Structure 1
Amino acid sequence: MTVKNYFPATGNTLVDVGGGLTRKVAAHNDNVMCVEVHFETGTVAALHSHPHEQITYVISGKFAFTVGTETYTVSAGDSLYKQPNIEHGATCLEAGTLLDIFTPHRADFL
């Protein structure tokens, strides 16, 4: 099996998810995935859950994130951890970009 080690930015397509949200899958394999997510101000990522562990790092912008029963206002440099199957979602307060890391990878994003 050949492992892909390099994922140039020009090889990854920005996908319009709708509602002011776009994303680009970056490096990934079966065990981990890196996704760049762009939000317009006012965009809502509805509450949801999935079996993947997820870490979100805020590159830019300002967001209200709900994880479980807690809501956090986060901005550039902040990060969040979401355990498997925990309900979470976000509202974009100021346009920005997030970096999401999932384990295992999100087959539904490929």
Structure 2
Amino acid sequence: MYQDFNKIELKNLGNGLKRKVLAYSDNLMTVYMEFDEGSIAEIHSHDKHEQITYIIDGEFEFTINGEKHLCKSGDSMYFAKNIFHGCKCIKKGKLLDTFTPKREDFLNI
């Protein structure tokens, strides 16, 4: 499946978060995220999904199982199932999230 990035809708999720669902299959999904400075992705975990996050641009304070990490462009993280994680955007930024399996809930928003 080919996806033209410029033709995919950038959905405003509120609270300074925006998302584009990029290519996906039943077993894999890539998601582009934009964060305004100061926006927060609340601490959460996934019981069905593994996740890898790559920071394209900006600076974030990630909390992973209670530990804080200052992350910047080029950094990446892996979140196994049931790992608690979230972040605060320190400098306006962009992330690329990859999930396995795909996030059905992202397709319905």
Q: Is 2:80 the partner of 1:77? A: no
Q: How does 1:1-110 map to 2 (within 5 A)?
A: 5-50=1-46, 51-110=48-107
Measure, in 1, the Cα distance between the counterparts of 2:7 and 2:105: 19
Unaligned runs of 5+ in 2: none
What is the letter of the counterpart of residue 27 of structure 2? N
Letter of the 2:3 counterpart: F
CA RMSD of aligned residues (A): 0.8
Q: Equivalent pairs: percent with the same residue?
A: 48
Distance (whole Å) between structure 2 residues aligned to residue 10 and residue 39 of structure 1: 18
- Which letter maps to 1:46? E
Q: Deviations over 1:73-107 (max 9, x none)?
A: 00000001101111110000000100000000000
* TM-score scaled by length of structure 2: 0.94
Number of equivalences: 106
